[in-house]
């Protein structure tokens, strides 16, 4: 058998047993670990919190989510009550008195 025939047979069978072509898709600790960020991207800090009078949970909310929770009906009595807004709680989903707090 000549060298050309051996090469043709090897290419028909596929890559050699010690070849890295089989594990090309899997790279758990290789190049991806070297060139990727060491820290994952963290979500932006939330400064608005909603505290519910029913479930007593304090939930960070985005300003747009706060507007969505206030519709279709909400009542706001600032300064008169500890929980000054009657709207849907983002934590438990009930319509109850909540307090919206801004923290920097």
| Residue 20 placed within a domain | no
| Residue 13 placed within a domain | no
| Residue 54 placed within a domain | yes
Which residues pair with residue 76 across a beta bridge?
85
CA pair distance 27, 11, nearest whole angstrom: 25
Residues whose CB is less than 8 angstroms from the CB of residue 83 and which lie 6 or more positions away in sequence, other chains included: 51, 53, 96, 97, 98, 99
Number of domains in the chain: 1
User: Global pTM?
Assistant: 0.54
Give the domain range for residue 75.
48-102
Is the predicted pLDDT of residue 99 greater than 90, yes or no? yes
| Residue 98 placed within a domain | yes
Tens of pLDDT, residue by residue over 37-85, are 666 665 667 789 999 999 999 999 999 989 988 888 899 998 888 999 9
| Residue 22 placed within a domain | no
């Amino acid at each position: 058998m000549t060298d050309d025939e051996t090469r043709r047979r090897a290419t028909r069978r596929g890559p050699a047993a010690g070849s890295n072509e089989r594990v090309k898709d899997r790279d758990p600790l290789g190049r991806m670990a070297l060139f990727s960020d060491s820290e994952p991207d963290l979500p932006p800090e939330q400064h608005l919190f909603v505290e519910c009078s029913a479930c007593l949970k304090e939930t960070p909310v985005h300003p747009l989510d706060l507007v969505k929770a206030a519709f279709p009906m909400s009542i706001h009595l600032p300064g008169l009550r500890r929980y000054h807004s009657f709207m849907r709680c983002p934590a438990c989903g009930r319509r109850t008195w909540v307090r919206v707090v801004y923290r920097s």
